[in-house]
Every structure is written in structure tokens, then in C-alpha cells.
Structure 1
Amino acid sequence: MTTTLFGLPPVPAIPVEGETAAYPIGRIFCVGRNYAAHAAEMGGEVDREAPWYFTKTPANAVLSGAVLPYPPGTSNHHHEMELALAIGAPVFRAGREQAMAAIYAYGCALDMTRRDLQQVAKDNRRPWSLAKDLEGGAVLAPMKRAADFGAVTNQRIHLEVNGETRQDATLAEMVWTVDEIVSHLSHYYHLRPGDVILTGTPAGVGPVRPGDVITGGIDGLAPVRLSLTDPE
């Protein structure tokens, strides 16, 4: 066995209701502009020809309940509440039925975003990595197996900051359904267990500050929580 020069911080594994073992994170894909109202509040439109994606580094993910410092390099840090899905079987070039069968579990997630850096990237046609792939930029709650959650229909999705509601919508407002997302993405990647997909955020995103407590929920799933402290 090859030895390494140093160890790496462990990537978190997501608890799953009813399971004694946790779900290890291999890759994190995120769907952009999957709610028309959110696209409009960001000054854009939904691409209705196909979904599109950005990624987050698994080592930058944290579990619900994390307490993190306000991130460096931004003065406009935003919350985005999302439904996450976890892949449970290999899937490649799949149709919608096969894609649906490959979904193992669902959970609540936060896609935290340095919005000012995202705008700079947009203005200069640069990648979004500094804006989206920040340390603690994906916050993941315990998941529920897809068979126990049932169909993704019109479940309420919401987010609060210090108890005040900021985002309030339903999963029925997603432009691309979960099976369409998995099917489409599987034509570009060999999706496999360990792949987590964040499916986009509804309208109502906004800034958070040191001292804020961010909570979010989706009907039928365990809630997600993040607390922010002073910057380092």
C-alpha cells in the first residue's frame, strides 16, 4: 500500500434515518436556476432547454448543526435552501425511470454563497468557484430513504434566519424534476453511490451576518441548521 506524505481532513458522511451506517459523500453537484422566481430575483431566466450545474468540493461540506465563522472575502454572504438527493446505484445515460430508481435518499441542504463574488464572476464571465465552493458552503441534514419519503410533489420548502421566514415555496415549483435532473446529468457523468445533487433554491435568498442562526426545512425531512460566528 502506498503511504502518503500527510493525511487529509475527513469528508463528512450523512446520517440516514433508519440506518446504522452513514452515507459517504463522493461528489456534490448543484443545479442552477431551478426555480423561475429565484432566477428572476437574480436578474436571470431559467434555461428551459436543459438543467445546468456547478460543483462543490466534498471536503467543504459540513453537517447540520455546524457552527462556522462568517467566511472570508465577502460582505454579502447568502443563504439558499435546497432539496438534496443521494444516488444509491450506478447510473449512466439513463432514462427517467432508471434515474428515479437510482435515487437512494433525500435531505435538506443549504447552498451558502458569497453573492458579491458571484456577481464579480458573472460580470467578468469567470467561474463561480470562489462564490460557491467555500469552506462550509454545503450544509447537509440527515437524510431519509427515498422509499420512506415518497414522491417529490408539492412539499413545502422553507428557510428562516433567527426565526424570521425568508424562503417559502413548494417543491412543485422546481423547473426540472428530480428524475429529469438525474437522467440529464447521467449523460455527462457515470453517476454512482456517493454522488449528492442539490436541486436548486426557491426565491427569497438574502444575506446573513455573524450571530445569525439559519434553519430550513422540507415537509417530511429532518431540518437543517447553521450558526454563524464572527469572522476569523
Structure 2
Amino acid sequence: MSVTALVLAGSRPGGDPFAEGLGVAHKALIEVGGAPMLARVIGALQAAGCPRILVSCAPGPVAQLAGQLGAEVIAPAPGPSGSVLAALDVAGTPLLVTTADHALLRPAWVRELIEGAPQGSDVAIMLAERHAIEAALPGSRRTYLRFADGHWSGCNLFLLRGPSARAAVTEWTRVEADRKRPWRIVARLGPGLLLRYLSGRLTLADALRRLGGRIGCRIALVPAADGLAAVDVDKPADLADVQRLLGR
């Protein structure tokens, strides 16, 4: 499958205090392992064989760097989901989505998602199970979705495989505000499923199946073999972890 990649590199309204505290204008420009994070992400996507790479960002130094690295810059829309919808208008599907702060991104993880997405799925999401993350990076503090089949953390890697994926991105706009409170997301699927979730009997696979049925697309989970796939750079502790890992 020839897959276009999208890198979300938009800035927060009012700037990013984390980046500003490090003396850079944008988080995507923070250097890790001797290179800006955006450069590492684009390099991994190129090495994975993505023939076209879009970077969603405003005009400025991030856009300039993206162009120098051979990526195509597109204007961001309000919110990550809005920017993904804008990219779908530009490139269609299949579209692989990741973020500029995924500093450890490896070509193998990109191929793992593309090759592991089940036939017939409209959307494939890579998540890492807690045991894999803690084995790869002991002491890492991540946000987990707690289900009967494990505690899962997002890897900032999504594959939109067909036109029906647009429905999932539209739903994403409603989920963004509740991403730290998964019970509220499950509650939208009905009281029966919420009770199963609260009692620890709902699996993530079943939740994705029911969510997909509700919005009209098939959503699949692709478990990450490497727990480091869930490590991005959102705060100083993440940056220290990533610098230490790359220093090895």
C-alpha cells in the first residue's frame, strides 16, 4: 500500500510554554539527538517508504524546515482533527497520521501499523499495552485507557484506509475534549457498555467495534510490539527520557 503521511505540527494558541522555556519558537523545533524533532519524524517516514509527506503547520520556521526536508506544507485547521480533515481534502486515503513530537518514531513502527491493519478496516490505531511500555521505559508516566484486555496508551499513529475513515475523524472532534476521561467516551455508546467498562469487563477491541458501528466505519487496534512507540515529548521529563534513550 502506497501511503501518504501527515505530520501534525500546529502550535497552541498563545504559544507553547514548554518550547519557550527551552528557548525555541515551536515544540517541533526542539532538538533531540542532535536534530529537531520534526526532522527526526520526517526522516523516519521517508525511511519507511512514504512517497508523500504533508506537514500541517503555520507559515514560519517549522514550515521552512519542513520544505527543506522535502515535505509539503499545508495550512492547519482548528484542532488536530480539523487539520486531519483538511489533509484528507488534499491527499485522500490512505493517510497515515502522526505528530511532530514523536521524536522516537521508527520506520519499523510505521510499517507495523500499515502491514498490521486488518483487511476491511477503515481506521487502524496503534496503541501500546502498559506492560510493553514499562518494560521498554521503566518509570514512564503515561495516560492509560483501562480495559479488560489491558491498559493501553496511544502511540500517535493512525492509519485512515478508506473514505469511511472521515466519519471517524469527525467523531474525533467530539472525543478530543474527553481524551483523559475514557468513561465519558464509552458513555456515548450506551449505559450497558458504560457499566461493563466501569466493572472492568469491557475490552478495548469490543469498544472500538461498537464505536465503529455507531459512526459507520470499522476501527481496528494494532498493538505496538515496542512500548517506546507510546513515548512522545510533551513535558521536560519526556524530553529527558528521550535524550537518554537516544544517547544509548
TM-score (norm 1): 0.27
Indicate the structure whose relative CO is greater, using CA pairs within 8 Å and at least 6 residues apart: 1
Query: Normalization by structure 2: what TM-score?
Result: 0.26
Higher strand share: 1
Between Structure 1 and Structure 2, the one with more helix by share is 2
